Structure 1
């Protein structure tokens, strides 16, 4: 049995000046109880399986008690929401308990979401409902399984506390582990309030905690911003390659480490629709799927403005100018990997463009297409062609693709076989993704007191590339009611 005192806990963010946060005691939920515990992550962090957690750990993680050395706090930040600056932001329903050092030496924030009112709750109640908590729990673990940088979900609790949204729902709590909770909006807050000393301190701490090697650079702050630009470009490239729409890319939802952060109205693409909007509050389509690369650059520009007291204008401009090059390089590498193409050939751009046009014109399921393409060594090519309405056009493109793929060489300089290529492709083209309808089924069952589907989906999505024949139903096309679901921020 692991005890609280056996964990490697610290409170480094709480050691910063009070301008960075407000100390807040959690407001306990009524009759809270664990309904999910991420055992693989828990073991990495030094926790035991749920059955062997002592009462003190459960009290600390549920917000029922403050256990030393924790100093719960709500971070203060600001941000641009749908392009409009909002100074009145901060952790409105989440609290940072402290930091924990994992078995491998990596430091994670321990954070509880849904812990009650804070000074930054504005008109909210500081609570999280069961459905939104399930969605974040499942998606953060699904993204981790895909290999996309993300915050992680350590555990989840439900309670008898009523929470009022569109209807009365059970209050829930997410235990989140993240390498950092520092957002672009943290820098914006200190810049717009002219707290340049704190802005400088924040930059120093980001370097010290996450990239200490940058302190030896001639211009450490420039190197820091370049690292943020690079990490953001990589994250966006992976979102686009895997068909993930975040839905609310405000600057306060952008991690300085390039980790996917604050899961709200997200969605993975079903049919390939570049302009897909998953957030029903996004009336202008600002955060549509195909706008995410542009918005990330806009957000980086907002961060650059906030860093202008520390970094020369030309250095900021140069770092921003590198974004599109980095994004293109990362995205090209992702897509080549998904298509099993190692080298570059003159006809590739046209082949890629024609593929995306074909997918969009035929409303073809994005994930199913790439997985089927990864299995042409095992299945007849007809399985790919049958995904399209215009099969003659699909057949013509597939013939071009296979002829191009046949030119690839392996590491020994020999022609790459279909088997070799497809084996590599199946390691980067998932069979299972968190489709919104699957999350909704799990939510519906959970609201009736059955949490088995949540646990089942979490286990399935931890290994999305593996063939799991007994679970093939989870790789099926969504039903008509489950396609292109628009989700609200409280979902």
Structure 2
């Protein structure tokens, strides 16, 4: 296909998927979206593909090898029966009401018979692009692709990424880069901001229709078993608060910084969504700011749980015309605090080998204090977060804690903590505890410098590093001895990588 013939039909493969498109979001009506076509890109090529996501989507083997797939997932031709659209929403950005936003560079192709929405990110301008070009660049697309699938492999609720395609089409950011398109998958891409949009405009019929759609599709128990003394809409707020709490507990336990937790970047299903300026911690710094556009540090790592609650409060305000009772809304929000505290402690207990696995490991009421003391030691010593957990896991298995002690400058503080920790482990089977820790402490996470290695190679047309990194991240708890260096400390140059909202 040449540069002047980007949208011509590709040959249909014999194993074309039966998409069996469902009405889904489009059934809500034109107030919720604008129908439009993706904008073609010249000379597309494959960058990366997720076999796991393809299997979840139910794609027939080999379809992603076809030219039809390449053209369709770049936005150069429509999937048969698809009716693409961009949805409208509003939101708070960096704590300030931003008004109408919407899918500025994401185009929803539709919902398949597997109840999975397919979205192209970077497929061109929409009515909601707000002066932008509607494009994504190769650099950020690789990061989103890798992290979406890495988070899924870690067991963290997330949107998925089926593939990335690239094009030589130039795109101007801080420098001139090249275009790419990420195919994203999720049961739904509805955000807090969708509700804020209609509430802010006092469009109560549309607000109710959206809430009913979400409840009926994703939270039917809210209608059949609402909270005591409250209605289904309060139940919806409570269910979203609980899912969001679990997601945040996962983030904080694994050391994941989202970087731009605006209300329009919050999923109504409690999924990690919109991988822009994200980062996994290298050294443990609770106040770390991964987004260089975040001058005030609103989305610093240690602020994420509170920001999530603030965002839920915004959602509650949007839903108040439906909930009607302030007390019911506040009770629903309170569930966030309870669920987060329990979920975070459960994650940390698992990382410490103190999870209640078949009653073989002793639990203690002092676990919370033990966790807080440990996090304080890690922060004071600026200890590498992932390396610490790997060394602790091996120490529990071997009984040799010297490699862990070597990570700390405050040896006395570490020794005191280890004594308290050992007292909890004394009744445990070390082998059982270590085995549980190996499934709770990933050996490999998508550190910034690893993503940068894949990006630099890809920009030279070499996608082998991306494929190798993808394979490792899809099995993050395995050893992968051929890539052992990726489980080590970050190199010095990693601290100079700047990730911003333009990434």
Task: Quickly name the TM-score band, shorter chain normalised.
Answer: over 0.9
Question: Distance in 2 between the 1:16 and 1:3 partners?
Answer: 32
Aligned counterpart in structure 2 of residue 180 of structure 1, from 158, 180, 188: 188
Aligned counterpart in structure 1 of residue 76 of structure 2, from 39, 59, 64: 64
Corresponding residue of 2:424: 404
Q: 171-180 vs 214-223, which deviates more?
A: 214-223
Question: Distance in 2 between the 1:117 and 1:253 partners?
Answer: 19
Does the Cα contact within 8 Å between 2:17 and 2:63 map onto a contact in 1?
no
The alpha-carbon distance between structure 1 residues 165 and 50, as it changes in their structure 2 partners (threshold 3 A), is: farther
Does the Cα contact within 8 Å between 1:279 and 1:487 map onto a contact in 2?
yes
How many Å apart are 1:92 and its aligned residue? Answer: 0.4
How many Å apart are 1:50 and its aligned residue? Answer: 4.9
Corresponding residue of 1:424: 436
Query: Superposition pairs for residues 266-281 of structure 1, below 5 Å?
Result: 266-281=278-293
Question: Distance in 2 between the 1:314 and 1:457 partners?
Answer: 49
Structure 1, unmatched stretches of 5+, are 408-415
Corresponding residue of 1:235: 247
Question: Distance in 1 between the 2:469 and 2:62 partners?
Answer: 18
CA RMSD of aligned residues (A): 1.6
The alpha-carbon distance between structure 1 residues 380 and 432, as it changes in their structure 2 partners (threshold 3 A), is: same
Query: Superposition pairs for residues 64-463 of structure 1, below 5 Å?
Result: 64-102=76-114, 107-218=115-226, 219-311=231-323, 312-341=325-354, 342=356, 343-376=362-395, 377-378=397-398, 380-407=400-427, 416-463=428-475
How many Å apart are 1:401 and its aligned residue? Answer: 1.2
Does the Cα contact within 8 Å between 2:100 and 2:197 map onto a contact in 1?
no
The alpha-carbon distance between structure 1 residues 2 and 290, as it changes in their structure 2 partners (threshold 3 A), is: farther
The alpha-carbon distance between structure 1 residues 450 and 205, as it changes in their structure 2 partners (threshold 3 A), is: same
Question: Distance in 1 between the 2:161 and 2:14 partners?
Answer: 19
Q: Give runs of ≥4 in structure 1 deviating > 6 Å.
A: none
Question: Distance in 1 between the 2:447 and 2:96 partners?
Answer: 31
Does the Cα contact within 8 Å between 2:15 and 2:63 map onto a contact in 1?
no
TM (norm. structure 1) is 0.94
TM (norm. structure 2) is 0.92
Does the Cα contact within 8 Å between 2:363 and 2:424 map onto a contact in 1?
no
How many Å apart are 1:309 and its aligned residue? Answer: 0.5
Structure 2, unmatched stretches of 5+, are 1-12, 357-361
Question: Distance in 2 between the 1:173 and 1:260 partners?
Answer: 19
Question: Distance in 1 between the 2:88 and 2:121 partners?
Answer: 15
For 1:336, what is the secondary structure of its paired residue?
helix
How many Å apart are 1:214 and its aligned residue? Answer: 2.9
Does the Cα contact within 8 Å between 1:38 and 1:153 map onto a contact in 2?
yes
How many Å apart are 1:52 and its aligned residue? Answer: 5.8
